[in-house]
Structure 1
Amino acid sequence: MTIPGLAGKGGWSRSTIPLLAFLLAALVFVASLAVSGRQLANHVRLEATGHRIGFWEAGQALLEAARLRTDVHRHAAGVPGAAAAIPQRFEILWSRILALQGGDGERRSYPALDAVRASLPEFFSQLTALETDLPGVIARDNGALARAELVLADLVSRLNFANRALHQDRQIASEAATLGLSRLQTTFAASALGLIVSASLLCTVLFWLWRRAQATLLEAEEARARAGRSERLLRVVVDSLPLMVSAHDREGRFVLANANFAEFHRTTEQALLGRCVAEATGSPADEADLAAALAAGGEVPFREAEVVGPDGNARTLLTSTAPVQDTDGAVTAVARISLDITERKAAEEQIRYIAEHDSLTGLANRLLFTQRLNHAISAGGKVALHLIDIDDFKDVNDSLGHAAGDALLLTATSRMRGCLRPEDVLARLGGDEFAVVQPNVRGVEDAEAVAARIVRALSSPYAIEGSLVKAGASVGIALGGTAEADGPRLLQRADIALHAAKAAGRRQVRTFSAAMDAALGEQRRLEQDVQKALAEGAFHFAYQPKFRVSDLGFAGCEALLRWDHRLRGAVPPGVFIPAAERAGLSVPLARHTLHAALRQQAAWRAQDIDIAVAVNLSARHIVSGQAVELVRDALEAENGVPERLEIEVTEDVFIRDPGAAASTLEALRGLGVRLALDDFGTGYASLGYLQQLPFDVIKLDRSFVAGLGTSTRTERIVDAITRIAHGLGAKLVAEGVENPVQLARLREIGCDEGQGYLLGRPMAPEALSALARSHGLAAARGAAGEPLAAVFAAE
């Protein structure tokens, strides 16, 4: 029978239940014996403990203390021979008291005995004092005799008290033993009941097993019937498998072959039975597989083989051969399974090709390029690695679309192939970056000659979508083949050379040199110094004041980040800001800039000075959208006033990603901060961008200000820019005002604000606060016609 909910997967089988019942009966039997034995042992222990709770030891100690006291009295009275017994009595007393501290293995606690053992250190202290006085006692020294009498009297009194208390503990132990005897009787009765239950359970299990034996006989009959059905089903399954299955005896003759096997070899199973495998398949390797499986007694590893299929075409078979053993472990037959993997092999080759080649150009991708580069280096000889970057590719992509960019890349690929040897490897690493691996070059002259051919080929105009498009290429070369130039290092050197070529202008070729490596090392050291300076708070601000052009009133300031290195001296922002970006510190540096500026602004407010501060943010923070979170976090952390913070951005945000820039700038306006377009007129801004993003401030680049008073054309341009800014509702701020003529022309044109060395150099925050406090006096003097430069010279 089957217990519902227990049979089947995850439950108890029918054969498990009798075993569990038997184990339960045995457990009850053993538990009954264990409980009875434990109670009996406990009772015996209680009986023994009743006689071993220190009463005898305490009595003996009391007796020996009294005897010693008597001997001391007799000796003091002059009884002959009494002195000789005193040391021996003392040693016996010491051993009797020492016996009180020993345990008998009993873990039970008795209060009286515990109290006696707790006072043993005092007993031993008194005995030690008595031992010191023994020579005086034997010499009948009155002082020693008096002290000995006091010690012995106290010992006798305390031991007498301990003896009475231990006697009471002995009575308590006897009562516990009596109670334990009663419990033992109860336990024996319960154990007897447990034995009866276990015996009954065992009888039930035996009956159950007998019934199971009857059921097993019926199941055996059913199993034989199922075996016949299974054999027929197995035959259908074997014939239906998309595999070629065969079985062979120890001589290699066929004893089974499924339909797929017979069809593949253009025969029938009946024709195969009794024939040798090599005779049927025509392959001696098949016969060798059978022999190997018989000899090894185990499965032969999979083997791929090329054979002729039923259609006459070559097919790839994956074959496994394994011995079939009987119950004694003897090999009686061998089974073989073959799978036609021709299509799978073709798919794998296609996947491998896709994984190793660029989908557009069909060139080796970065993965295959790395393999070929490492192979060329390990093969020996000089290896030249060229990194090639297509000039102006982004302009073509942006202006004509991605289809035109793809056409340019395909044409460039074809031209570069025409410049290379058959053994050279051309790869596309991504975007418009290509690489060439040239094994076995004779020297740098050969490599540079190939690079020059590539530059010339890629510099010719491209006919794309009916238009002639101009492009070019920059090439960086690194030569390897020595022990220290492995693949990654060679690639790094070629990249350094490529950057040098691009820095030198378009259509240039540069070969890696030690000087380039040194420059890279210096660049990395600078990046590390920037990271350290940021961690140590070494960056600080100089604040350049801004003034209203109309009345020279103080209008705010621009926070200019500065860094004074202990060895490099004053490092300009144009050096350390790109280094921070290369080191991945652009966001931490921007965060530091915003927090420091707002913190200084709060310090000025605490001095009752409200100064508007302008802070520059990188175009990458605007395009990536990070600027919004950076500004919001800084305002919240420093309790900043958004209306008094001005964010300056340069025009290159519009060429990076106009859509992303517009979204970020709009979000910044939503925070309440003011937006300023820096260096207007030198970048990529257009009136369309200005119309979509109404900046609060437009800053006129210093190159226009420098021409005021000397160039009528420049003055007309500045006048037009002023009108445009005012027409868009923005203020115009002129940068680089350095002489009174420029200031006068800006006032005539109608410029709103200005900054420059004429008005005030970048200064420390303390100097700026002093300047702001004297703002009223400065404005008045400027209005009276005094040179403003003289007014600020004292600041």
Structure 2
Amino acid sequence: MTGERTKRRRWGIPATVRPFGPVAVLAVLHAVAFLTGRGTDGGGAWLSAWAAAIAASSLLFAVRRAPQTPAGKVDRDTWRWFGLAALAWSAGAAISAISRLVLSRSAVAVSPADLFFLIALGAMTAGFVAPIGPPRSARPWLRYLADTYVCACALFVVGWVAIFDRLYRMSGEGWVQFVIELRYPLLDALLVCGLLPMAVGALRGRRRSAMVAYCALVVLTAADVMYFMDRLNGGDAYGSAADLARLAGLLLLGAAPWTTLRGGASDAPRRRLVGPGLAPAATAAAAAIFVAGHSLTGAHGLRPIVPIIAGSAVLVVLARLGELVHDNDRLRRAVKTSEKHFRALTESINDVVVICGLDGVIEYVSEGAQPSYHYTAEDLLGRSVRDVIHPEDLPRVLVAVRRLLRATGNDVVRIACRVRAADGTWLPTESTICRYGSSGDRSADRLLVTVRDFSEQAALQRQVTHLTFHDGLTGLPNRAYFEERAREVVECGQGTVAVIFVDLDGFTAVNDSIGHAGGDQVLAQAARRLRAGVLADDTVARWGSDEFAVLVQSATEVQTVVDLGERLVRVLAGEPYRVGDRSIVLTASVGIAFTETGVGGPELIRNADVALSRAKDLGGGRVEVFAAKMHADVVRRLELSGELQRALTEQQFTVEFQPVVELATSRVTGVEALVRWWRDGVFVPPEEFIGTAEESGLMIPLGNWVLREACCEVARWRASAWDIGLSINLRPREIAAPRFVESVKAALDDSGLSPEMLTLEVEEEVLVDGGDELIARLSALRDLGVRLAIDDFGTGYASLAYLRQLPVDVIKIDPSFVAGLGRDETLSLLTRTIVRVGRDLGLCVVAEGIERPEQLELLKEMGCPRGQGFLVARPMAPRGIEALVRTNPRGEASIPLHGSAQSAG
């Protein structure tokens, strides 16, 4: 690290400066020698050789330092040519010094050094030409050569009149010899005129170095002119001011690479050719004035060479002026054509095009203002755009325009504002503002404004916004709007806020019976009733399907909100809904939740939904207010659902069987399969998880598992010559499963159990609410040979009707009837009637819930054929059932029914 730092900076001098140290020392020594008159023979030539060599080393060092980019490649080419020019100059100066010492003290007119000087001039020309991208046509090159020729002629005329004419007369030489002596000033003048466009055309970031190199050429030209004058004046050409000028020119050439702006024009490595333009004419005019003044005041007339050179230059200038006139005419026609195209373009689009000054005064307006804003062009010309921009939008427009005027380049500003139409209405617009002039011209004094009427888009956007936050059927706000509104109101914290959830009970049956179109009419009528039943400040929204939500912002008292909920229940259920010629009666359930500390908008909505679920669970048609226990119950059901899923995967469930006996003989004729859950070794009662399993949909896989396990177990017992049947209770979700009939058939086929040995029990209320689809499914089961039983018979209101519709085999008396035997004469009479009806219809009657001896005796006296209950036998594991079989030598199980049966389970 230290070595590298020493390499870059030695004795505190930067590496980029060290190559010019020897040049500075030699320059000081030469200046002292020149001022004291002690210059030695050939000293100036040797000084030029040393300076050119060091300049070459600086340029070649710059070639190594150039970056590896497209712009860096162009820089390397330029510095490489300039370095070659400096090396050739160094060689020519060294040869000139040696020739002076060897041949004579006087200057040699033509020597081998001239070859190297010419090579130096050619290499320097190549260095300026290398970065230029050549024009695609010949006309730019012809203009460039013509301008260069005129400038060179003008400089020659001025130089001849001012300097060379006198020197020519003093020299006494012929034309050829004098021109040979004048070769370097002439070549330098041509290069100075010819390379100026290339130096001026350098890209930004490289222009400084190009101009430094051009200044080096100008200084070297001045040195050659001074050298020529010293020789023709009879002085010593070496050791004069020409050497100092040549030293300065070479020093500038070597310093050119280090004045480049780093990073400039890195993405555009090529320069452009910039012609002098009117400079030739100006130079020629100045030369003509100078020559005319010299002719009037001078003692001698002009030499013939001056009219020849000046005349040829004038001819070239006239040709260039003719071309300029032609180009000007062509440009004028192009401008007119562009103006026509511009007007045709502005009239063919729907947007309004306006051209105005920087003060905002309108100078041009397209015809598009008539259909959009009902303005004619005469109405707007001469007016300020401030008159038609909405006062609230005007400050933003002014700020945007100021930002545009401060920006560089061809920037464009887009801004939305309201514009006043001719009838006084304010129309939303989208405007584009840019400078009206050349690309990137900061001096452009006009603005081009394109105005697009945004009225249709704004109306469409408002419609989309309305549809986004409103229900298309009822016109009420939708769920997204209600959630956002509830969040805002709760966060404001102004008083107590309540959310009321409303649900139409039994709405699914409406869609099933009259179709979704009729259901939509019912929902629309319910929405109108809700909107009319609340205050104007309350928000009514459709939450989804048949659910609505009400946000009460001024819930001053709890009872007031509860009264509102009860009123909504009455409003929704008060009158039938009319759908065509049909009248539909529906009830409604309501859940209410109030804001509490730490309860936000989403939690408040959730609490109201929980209260609504509680109201529907309790039968509907009622109002429930949220309590913390409700949420705990919901969370508990969710947790229980997850535990049930895990229990089903880990096989934590077992199947127990409760015997069904023939009351007259105490013989076990069948068993009812019951599911049991042992969660981590702890028994969970069925009433705690059966409802959750049905709500979560787990009842379907759980029921299938129970069916398969029970069928396999009973089939194994029957294979052991035990004549016994199987009963399984079905839940509504199981029956509604799409492939329920197929799953029953698959269980029978896999286990080998005969279909007639399987009895499927369906609760009576499920039959009442199930409809035709349930009847069809049960009939399909009956076609398989499976027996059907009505469980909890006697609790429904259409029991006898279903006995007529379904081919039922068994009816099971509800335990509530059996529990009243011997204590309630009415229940005893009803039980006796059910037994008699079953016997008359040829059905098997099973009494459930036998727990007392007197119940058993009364059932026997009534002639009830079969029964089950804790008095008969408790549910037991399969090994308990097998123990009953083993106690009977004939392979038939029987249970004593005189009290000792209590210990059988």
TM-score in same-fold range (> 0.5): yes
Whichever residue aligns with residue 731 of structure 2, its letter is S
Offset of 1:585 from its aligned partner? 2.9
Q: Tell me the distance in 2 between the aligned counterparts of 1:589 and 1:436.
A: 39
Q: Tell me the distance in 2 between the aligned counterparts of 1:748 and 1:616.
A: 28
1:734 to 2:847 alignment:
yes
Where do 5+ consecutive residues of structure 2 fail to align? 1-334
1:542 to 2:645 alignment:
no
- The structure 2 residue matched to 1:647, chosen from 756, 760, 776, is 760
Who is 2:29 aligned against? Answer: none
User: C-alpha root-mean-square deviation of aligned residues, in Å?
Assistant: 4.8
1:341–1:608 Cα change, 3 Å? farther
1:380–1:715 Cα change, 3 Å? closer
- The structure 2 residue matched to 1:384, chosen from 478, 492, 497, is 497
Q: Which string of whole-angstrom CA distances, capped at 9 and with x for unpartnered residues, describes residues 27-65 of structure 1?
A: xxxxxxxxxxxxxxxxxxxxxxxxxxxxxxxxxxxxxxx
Q: Tell me the distance in 1 between the aligned counterparts of 2:608 and 2:673.
A: 40
- The structure 2 residue matched to 1:488, chosen from 580, 590, 602, is 602
1:527–1:265 Cα change, 3 Å? closer
Q: Tell me the distance in 2 between the aligned counterparts of 1:636 and 1:301.
A: 76
Whichever residue aligns with residue 431 of structure 2, its letter is T
Q: Tell me the distance in 1 between the aligned counterparts of 2:423 and 2:843.
A: 82
- The structure 2 residue matched to 1:559, chosen from 639, 659, 673, is 673
Matches within 5 A, 1:583-732: 583-604=696-717, 607=720, 609=722, 611-625=724-738, 627-628=740-741, 630-631=743-744, 634-635=747-748, 641-654=754-767, 656-669=769-782, 672-683=785-796, 685-708=798-821, 713-714=826-827, 717-718=830-831, 721=834, 730-732=843-845
1:304–1:279 Cα change, 3 Å? closer
- The structure 2 residue matched to 1:759, chosen from 857, 860, 872, is 872
Who is 2:116 aligned against? Answer: none
Offset of 1:556 from its aligned partner? 1.6
Contact in 1 for aligned 2:722/2:892 (Cα 8 Å): no
Contact in 2 for aligned 1:735/1:755 (Cα 8 Å): yes
Who is 2:126 aligned against? Answer: none
Contact in 2 for aligned 1:549/1:747 (Cα 8 Å): yes
- The structure 1 residue matched to 2:385, chosen from 258, 262, 278, is 278
Who is 1:299 aligned against? Answer: 412
Matches within 5 A, 1:412-451: 412-414=529-531, 416-417=533-534, 420=535, 423-430=537-544, 433-439=547-553, 446-451=557-562
Moved more, 372-381 or 597-606: 597-606
Q: Tell me the distance in 2 between the aligned counterparts of 1:563 and 1:548.
A: 29
Offset of 1:479 from its aligned partner? 1.7
Q: Tell me the distance in 1 between the aligned counterparts of 2:835 and 2:402.
A: 97
Who is 2:485 aligned against? Answer: 372
Tell me, what secondary structure is at the counterpart of 1:533?
helix
Tell me, what secondary structure is at the counterpart of 1:485?
coil
Offset of 1:340 from its aligned partner? 3.1
Q: Tell me the distance in 2 between the aligned counterparts of 1:468 and 1:267.
A: 59
1:779–1:273 Cα change, 3 Å? closer
Who is 1:212 aligned against? Answer: none
Moved more, 768-777 or 587-596: 768-777
- The structure 2 residue matched to 1:244, chosen from 352, 370, 385, is 352
1:601–1:396 Cα change, 3 Å? closer
Q: Tell me the distance in 2 between the aligned counterparts of 1:495 and 1:763.
A: 41
Who is 1:409 aligned against? Answer: 526
Aligned pairs, how many?
A: 557
Q: Which string of whole-angstrom CA distances, capped at 9 and with x for unpartnered residues, describes residues 108-153 of structure 1?
A: xxxxxxxxxxxxxxxxxxxxxxxxxxxxxxxxxxxxxxxxxxxxxx
Moved more, 573-582 or 628-637: 628-637
Offset of 1:542 from its aligned partner? 1.8
Whichever residue aligns with residue 787 of structure 2, its letter is R
Who is 1:264 aligned against? Answer: 372
Matches within 5 A, 1:6-405: 239-246=347-354, 257-268=365-376, 271=378, 275=382, 278=385, 281=388, 285=394, 292-296=403-407, 297-305=410-418, 307-308=420-421, 313-322=425-434, 335-359=448-472, 362-389=475-502, 402=519, 405=522
Who is 1:174 aligned against? Answer: none
Who is 2:644 aligned against? Answer: 530
Offset of 1:540 from its aligned partner? 1.6
Offset of 1:598 from its aligned partner? 3.1
1:353–1:670 Cα change, 3 Å? farther
1:692–1:268 Cα change, 3 Å? same
1:774–1:369 Cα change, 3 Å? same
Larger Rg: 2
Q: Tell me the distance in 1 between the aligned counterparts of 2:771 and 2:625.
A: 37
- The structure 2 residue matched to 1:478, chosen from 580, 588, 594, is 594
Q: Tell me the distance in 1 between the aligned counterparts of 2:343 and 2:754.
A: 86
Q: Tell me the distance in 1 between the aligned counterparts of 2:813 and 2:336.
A: 98
Q: Tell me the distance in 1 between the aligned counterparts of 2:412 and 2:841.
A: 85
Tell me, what secondary structure is at the counterpart of 1:370?
helix
Offset of 1:699 from its aligned partner? 2.3
Normalization by structure 2: what TM-score?
A: 0.52
Contact in 2 for aligned 1:386/1:477 (Cα 8 Å): yes
Tell me, what secondary structure is at the counterpart of 2:497?
strand
Q: Tell me the distance in 2 between the aligned counterparts of 1:545 and 1:616.
A: 14
Contact in 1 for aligned 2:795/2:814 (Cα 8 Å): yes
Offset of 1:619 from its aligned partner? 0.5
Contact in 2 for aligned 1:306/1:314 (Cα 8 Å): yes
1:346–1:698 Cα change, 3 Å? farther
Offset of 1:661 from its aligned partner? 2.0
Contact in 2 for aligned 1:601/1:610 (Cα 8 Å): no
Q: Tell me the distance in 1 between the aligned counterparts of 2:631 and 2:747.
A: 39
Whichever residue aligns with residue 371 of structure 2, its letter is E
Q: Tell me the distance in 1 between the aligned counterparts of 2:650 and 2:904.
A: 33
- The structure 1 residue matched to 2:882, chosen from 769, 782, 789, is 769
Contact in 2 for aligned 1:455/1:472 (Cα 8 Å): no
Contact in 2 for aligned 1:544/1:762 (Cα 8 Å): yes
1:510–1:556 Cα change, 3 Å? closer
Whichever residue aligns with residue 705 of structure 1, its letter is V
Contact in 2 for aligned 1:559/1:614 (Cα 8 Å): yes
Tell me, what secondary structure is at the counterpart of 1:698?
strand
Offset of 1:787 from its aligned partner? 4.3
Offset of 1:576 from its aligned partner? 1.1
User: Matched residues, percent identical?
Assistant: 32
1:312–1:684 Cα change, 3 Å? farther
Whichever residue aligns with residue 734 of structure 2, its letter is H
Q: Tell me the distance in 1 between the aligned counterparts of 2:718 and 2:448.
A: 92
Q: Tell me the distance in 2 between the aligned counterparts of 1:615 and 1:331.
A: 96
Q: Which string of whole-angstrom CA distances, capped at 9 and with x for unpartnered residues, describes residues 406-460 of structure 1?
A: 487346514641xx4x544333424554434344766xxx234322344256447
Tell me, what secondary structure is at the counterpart of 2:791?
strand
Q: Which string of whole-angstrom CA distances, capped at 9 and with x for unpartnered residues, describes residues 539-574 of structure 1?
A: 22220112345654432211111234468x543212
Tell me, what secondary structure is at the counterpart of 1:769?
helix
